Amino acid sequence: MTSRKRKHPLRWLLYTFLSLAALGWSAPLLLAVYASLRPYDETARLGYLSLPESLTLDYYTQAWTQAELPKYYLNTLIIVIPGVILTLLLASFAAFTIARLRIPGRKTLLIVFTAGNLLPPQVLITPLYTMYTWIELPEWLSSSHSLYDSYLGLILIHVAFQFGFCTFVMANFMATIPEEINEAALVDGASVWRRYWQLTLPLCRPVIAALSTLQFTWMYNDFLWALVLMSSGDKLPVTSALNNLRGQFFTDYNLLAAGSILVALPTLIIFQLLHKQFVAGLTLGATKG
Amino acid sequence: MTIRDRLLIFVGLGLAIAADLFLIWGPTLASVGLSTTDWDGISAINVVGAENYHDLAAEYPPFWSAVTNNLLWLAFLGLVATPLGLLFAVLLDRRLRFSRVYQSALYTPVVLSLAVVGFIAQLVYSSDYGVLNAVTGLTTDWLGDPSLNIWVVMVAAAWRHIGYVMIIYLAGLKAVDPSLKEAAAIDGANEAQAFFRVVFPTLRPINVIVLVITVIEALRAFDIVYAINKGRNGLELLSVLVTENIVGEASRIGFGSAIATVLLVISLGFIVTYLTQLFREPR
């Protein structure tokens, strides 16, 4: 009983500290929401930390229609959906050959793939940019007639940059699947494709769910690749297009706040809905197996 | 194995290897090669040896501010943000009421793009009507003052980084055998002793991963400063200088590649350390 009594004030301190931290952590986002609901001249006069005289959804309408956000959301989907699917297809097959078929040189391959994913993008972006401007594409693939300034170019670099990490995670996971499943299939004379597609992949569902949530968020949040590898303003994905809400001479930060909220919303919703998958994705690389 | 099986492996794995070589490692090596030339992307390529590196060190002031800022960024994330993330993980790794609520609040920023974090930071730090000045009564130009802005931007980056580190440590702590802590408690260790002497040493693999994430994040930092002021006036970073040489007016590919190579050498050191740790242990 005495130890219980002694612990009580400490517990109280812990709860106070955590509540303050949680409040402090949420404050910037809440502030952005608040700022986005107030007219510019009001916040310019009173500051962001003031009681509202009027609240309006005008900035959301403005960001939605004038800044044409729907178009940019669509651009993002055109890039991210094929990006995530291709990354996972490529990674799962590579992981399958490494972990289940045990091809020769598998360790070297895995090291090279994983290391590639850890590089800062800037170490390769200059030659990549030049190469993209050289590669010509037909009109139906790219309205700019080159890999530079095309959706395909962005999809390819996302896939190449992200599949290393996914391969690493999936190879680790596949290594934990009991060998017997594969052996039974071998006796049956199943083809490599059947062993990959029908026997291994269905067992990887939890990893695939976690990785697709994570990859969707990463690719959605990308700012750099589109900034360097795209030139047409109307093809930009939504995260990069946010910069357009900044005026050349004058920036209305309340409009920018509304834009930021709209851009952040899909990832926030996904995070709420697929909370478990997201956290699993982040920790998959950290905890083995 | 049938011919069809072999063909499938060849194509499937071949695509992966090709993507990795052509889009990642090829351009990385090209950066190193081009860093010894004066190429501007159009005219003929002349090899100039180490001239770019000499110019970088001797005649390009932003380079040293960028190196200093990257090191500061690394030190701040490593010595302030990462330990805080660990602290939160340790505090939350117990039976608490509202634990889910605290956790959600702390790691919500992790899902945000750093560009969005940069925009939100401007609402907080704006000199005229920002919240920080309103609360403190100051009139400081937090983002405009080149001796101050890197610090407040690092705080904004830490806002996201701390949650990231916390998630990873929470997962690591959950995997620690509870009987270890019980044994330490029976031996009379207090909570701090039990943590530092018993639990923390078992987290070694997690520590390495967190260290690498911290280093990589510090070297990759880009979006947040670019969203604030395109990485100028006190917010120079190596990543920004590389990008400026492509999207900027002057296309100095040789020179930009030299900066990229410096970045590569620093990151490879850490990547190699990490991979050795990762692949050494028997699985």
Binary contact (B263, A191; C-beta < 8 A): no
Whether A74 and chain B come into contact, CB under 8 Å, resolves to no
pLDDT (mean) for A70-80: 95
Binary contact (B263, A160; C-beta < 8 A): no
Chain B contact set for A17 (CB, 8 A): 91
Chain B contact set for A224 (CB, 8 A): 222-223, 243
What's the confidence (pLDDT) of residue A272? Answer: 86
Burial of B137 (0-12, 13-18, 19+ CB in 10 A): exposed
What's the confidence (pLDDT) of residue B92? Answer: 92
Binary contact (A223, B222; C-beta < 8 A): yes
Whether A50 and chain B come into contact, CB under 8 Å, resolves to yes
Binary contact (B24, A124; C-beta < 8 A): yes
Task: Please give the angle made by the CA atoms of A86, A119 and A160, to the nearest 5 degrees.
Answer: 15
Q: What is the pLDDT of residues A6-50, one digit of tens each?
A: 567 888 899 999 999 999 999 999 999 998 998 888 888 887 878
Q: Chain A window 16-35: which residues touch B at a Cβ cutoff of 8 Å?
A: 17-19, 21-23, 25-26, 28-29, 31-32, 35
What's the confidence (pLDDT) of residue B34? Answer: 93
Residue A28 has its nearest CB partner, among B13, B17, B120, at B120
Q: What is the pLDDT of residues B34-48, one digit of tens each?
A: 999 988 877 888 899
Domains, chain A, in order of start with CATH, read 2-58 (no CATH), 67-284 (1.10.3720.10)
Whether A129 and chain B come into contact, CB under 8 Å, resolves to yes
Q: How far apart are CA B23 and CA A157, in angstroms?
A: 7
Q: How far apart are CA A230 and CA A237, in angstroms?
A: 9
Q: What is the pLDDT of residues A117-160, one digit of tens each?
A: 899 999 999 999 999 999 998 988 888 889 999 999 999 999 99
Chain B contact set for A260 (CB, 8 A): 116, 119-120
More confident residue, B242 or A284: B242
Domains, chain B, in order of start with CATH, read 35-280 (1.10.3720.10)
Q: What is the pLDDT of residues B163-221, one digit of tens each?
A: 999 999 998 898 888 888 788 888 888 888 888 888 888 888 788 888 888 998 999 99
Binary contact (B209, A285; C-beta < 8 A): yes
Q: How far apart are CA A94 and CA B171, in angstroms?
A: 27
Q: Can you tell me the ipTM of this complex?
A: 0.90
> Cβ distance A192 to B9 under 8 Å?
yes
Q: What is the pLDDT of residues A192-221, one digit of tens each?
A: 899 899 889 999 998 999 999 999 999 999
Binary contact (B112, A163; C-beta < 8 A): no
Binary contact (B131, A48; C-beta < 8 A): yes
> Which amino acid type is present at position A58?
D
Chain A contact set for B237 (CB, 8 A): none
Binary contact (A164, B20; C-beta < 8 A): yes
- Whether residue B282 is predicted with pLDDT greater than 70 in this model: the reply is no
Whether A128 and chain B come into contact, CB under 8 Å, resolves to yes
- Whether residue B83 is predicted with pLDDT greater than 60 in this model: the reply is yes
Q: How far apart are CA B93 and CA A30, in angstroms?
A: 27
What pTM did the predictor assign?
A: 0.91
Binary contact (B168, A282; C-beta < 8 A): yes
The string over A94-132, giving b where at least 16 C-beta atoms fall within 10 Å of a residue's C-beta and e elsewhere, is bbbbbbbbeeeebeebbbbbbbbbbbbbbbbbbbbbbbb
Binary contact (B115, A242; C-beta < 8 A): yes
Q: Does residue A288 sit in helix, strand or coil?
A: coil
Whether A163 and chain B come into contact, CB under 8 Å, resolves to yes
Whether A218 and chain B come into contact, CB under 8 Å, resolves to no
Percent of chain A with pLDDT over 70: 95
